[in-house]
Each structure stands twice: as structure tokens, then as C-alpha cells.
Amino acid sequence: MIHLWDPQDLLGDWLVAHLPDNQASDWDAYWLFGPKATWTNQPPPLISSGSSVIGEKDALAQSIAPLLKG
């Protein structure tokens, strides 16, 4: 496992500012993208997002289930 720490929260702040339809804060959050998502100068469309991860585990499971069937 690789753990990358961002002590200044640069990535989280950027994601919150640049993801249309984002429903997550920048801490303890998930952002779910589709299997064909590619990153260019902007992130791809979100399938789902939320925070806290534990608090939104049911929404995450519901959003990711169709992707796991394929």
C-alpha cells in the first residue's frame, strides 16, 4: 500500500474548487469517476461524491455497484 500525505491539503482544495456537482468536502471524502474517465486539464465528470466516507458508505456502495457488475 502507498500512502501519500498532503499536509497542506492542496489536492483536496483543488478538487473541491474544480469538480462540478461535487457533494464532498475536502476531508474524509470520496470522488467516484467512471471506468473510462481520463484527466486532461479538468477532471472528468463525477458519478458520485460525498463525505464523510463512513457516513456516505451506502451512497458510495449504490453508486459503485453498477461499475462492479461490468
Residue 5 has pLDDT above 70, yes or no: yes
The mean per-residue pLDDT over the stretch 16-30 comes to 84
Give pLDDT, residue 9. Answer: 85
Position 3 pLDDT exceeds 80? no
Cis peptide bond N-terminal to 49, omega within 30? no
Confidence band of 70 (pLDDT split at 50, 70, 90): low
- Average pLDDT of the residues of the chain: 87
Please, which residues bridge with residue 49 across strands? 31
Amino acid at 10: L
54-66 tens-digit pLDDT: 999 999 999 999 9
Check if the beta carbon of residue 30 is closer than 8 Å to that of residue 50: yes
